[in-house]
Amino acid sequence: MFHQQGYNVLLPDARAHGQSQGKYIGYGWPERYDVRKWSKKLIAHNGQDSQIVIFGVSMGGATTMMTSGIHLPRQVKAFVEDCGYDSLNAELNYEAGNLYNIPRVIRAPLIGSLSLINRVKNGFYTHEASSTAMLARNHRPMLFIHGSKDTFVPTKMVYQNYAATKGPKKLWVVKGAKHAASYEKEPHEYPQHVARFLNQYVK
């Protein structure tokens, strides 16, 4: 999609995925600094006049939003996130209840225990990993995409994310789309929505 719109595309494996190094997945929180490093490498390779768009789906969408709240090179012009969660704790709580039918009374201590383990293994507590907190620091443009039938990252989360960001923004809820399936549901509309949004900010 992006290549067809004239972009050069860098498609890296996130840490602990594919051929990238790393033992533990960070749910977007430490990965935000990886994204910044990749951005700086692109600028060093392609020049100071680079214009960068950061795009991600699902956990990649959350990573995109979490990245938006840290100091980034001026060459980062916009973001597109698709079906990212509003916070790791909220997503863990939702999955525990809806996927595994864990009673609410058990979820809090369970997630608390997981958070302690994650702090030891990954360097942060799960409650720290918040898309909305980082979006509150973002002033760059962002397009939010989410399927109306998403039952993995519930659609309601996109409204929290959309409300949190401080920059120019647009929301597209794709009717009938399940998790990470908005492009599949609307293969013609999806690139058009992305292009219309980005063309305002990437010249």
CATH assignment of the domain containing 139: 3.40.50.1820
Angle at the Cα of 128 from the Cα atoms of 85 and 24, rounded to 5 degrees: 80
Distance of CA 126 to the CA centre of its chain: 16
59 & 77 share domain: yes
**pLDDT for the residue numbered 143:** 99
Kindly state whether residue 46 falls inside one of the protein's structural domains: yes
- Structural domain harbouring 75: 32-87+135-151+158-182
Which tokens sit at 126? 């799960």
Kindly state whether residue 19 falls inside one of the protein's structural domains: no
Kindly state whether residue 176 falls inside one of the protein's structural domains: yes
DSSP 99: T
**pLDDT for the residue numbered 8:** 95
9 touches 53 (CB < 8 A): no
Kindly state whether residue 170 falls inside one of the protein's structural domains: yes
**pLDDT for the residue numbered 183:** 98
Kindly state whether residue 199 falls inside one of the protein's structural domains: no
Instruction: Record the pTM.
Output: 0.96
164 & 120 share domain: no
38 & 80 share domain: yes
76 & 100 share domain: no
**pLDDT for the residue numbered 105:** 93
Kindly state whether residue 196 falls inside one of the protein's structural domains: no
40 & 125 share domain: no
Predicted confidence pLDDT, tens digits, the chain (203 residues): 999 999 999 999 999 999 999 999 999 999 999 999 999 999 999 999 999 999 999 999 999 999 999 999 999 999 999 999 999 999 999 999 998 999 999 999 999 999 999 999 999 999 999 999 999 999 999 999 999 999 999 999 999 999 999 999 999 999 999 999 999 999 999 999 999 999 999 98
Enumerate the β-bridge partners of residue 152: none
36 & 105 share domain: no
Which tokens sit at 72? 């980034």
108 & 141 share domain: no
- Number of domains within the chain: 2
| CB under 8 A, 24+ apart: contacts of 33-38 | 33/70, 35/63, 35/64, 35/67, 36/67, 36/70, 36/71, 36/72, 36/73, 38/10, 38/12
43 & 115 share domain: no
Strands (E), 26-178: 52-57, 76-82, 142-147, 169-174
54 & 143 share domain: yes
Kindly state whether residue 27 falls inside one of the protein's structural domains: no
40 & 77 share domain: yes
72 & 96 share domain: no
Which tokens sit at 89? 């704790």
Among 52, 48, 87, which Cα is nearest to 203's?
52
64 & 120 share domain: no
78 touches 202 (CB < 8 A): yes
Kindly state whether residue 58 falls inside one of the protein's structural domains: yes
**pLDDT for the residue numbered 159:** 99
